[in-house]
Structure 1
């Protein structure tokens, strides 16, 4: 910074005496009803001016106190200040637009109510089905138990059999019982050497020779050949 340049300083002079004298000169001596200006007597005192919440709350309290003071002044002067019940001010928005807005709000409200009612109906149906299923299951169980008890009472008492039945004894004699079942019919050296069941008469025609029946019918080709020979 250059040392030769002298910085400018703004001097603030709060001359209260001079300000009050000027205020008296410009002040208009008129009734309060002409200005309707209310000045709060209590100054605003805020610990932290940067605290927005505290500052706005102080402004609100000051405005509320001024409104109460103005109300008292109006009542003392017998001047009406409340809006009559039959007073209709001209709206910025048209009645047609406001009716559309109102209808839209009503439609949204009706849609929300319908959705809520549908949800309640679905829940009640689910609960009803679940309850009905439980009741049906209980009824079915009771019915099945009653049927089993009735069948048990009507069922004849079986006699205890002593020994084996004739059918069981016959099957045991034919197929045997117990013991080894696998390879029961396999040949052994003794059964292979046994030729007592061999019948030589059955082999009278010789090995490999087939005996033709009396009414043997030849094939078609051979029958045609035999016919041609007879004609020739």
Structure 2
């Protein structure tokens, strides 16, 4: 089989790099000489042959099993273990009757479970006979499949996720509280607007003479009294406490120290010390008015007199 470059050189043709094409006649002559072969220009793929050599596979398996001891293979083929509870109740198992439905998940999983039980019951005596331990010792140390760095990364991601969930829950609660607060605020504003509207309508009716009741004013007074707390009479009704009373009995009551110059109802109504002349400037020394037999008070000189006196100086 010759190379394409040799064919091109023998036939006197240029390569594909020179952008030259062969004519049909030249191709026919080359094919007649045997220079062109199938697959030279178009690749031909051969069909794959699949061989299912069952006997050969079984022979390989038997040879492999013979070469290795059972402790290295640990292969067992068992039927499911007997169900003692079903036998005691007199029920027939589906595995024994051969009526196992592969589509039934419960029957299929129970079949695998009983088969694993039978395998364990058969394998444990063999392992003990070969002196192979079947239990992990107390001081057993095994290499972890995940490194400490990887577990730290996982722990960090879990903490971040937990923190994000806590923040989300907190934000959700705050949003709910805000919604509730806005709802209460809207209700309060609506209530105030309603009361204000009722008040204005009552005032307009009173101004127009449609009614002579002043109930709306009494409502305001009741509100003020509720907001201000109990009246003073009730607060002062209790009097001093037990400690103050004990000290008064022991040391005596020295009298009131503050508020001695405050006016009271009795002092306000007491007119015994009132003097009209003293009150209106008609008597006493230095009075400014002229009374009967009174002296002339000091009178300020006029503006012109004061000017002349100033010039004389």
TM-score normalised over the length of structure 2: 0.30
Higher relative contact order (CA 8 A, sep 6+): 1
Instruction: Give the TM-score, by structure 1 length.
Output: 0.38
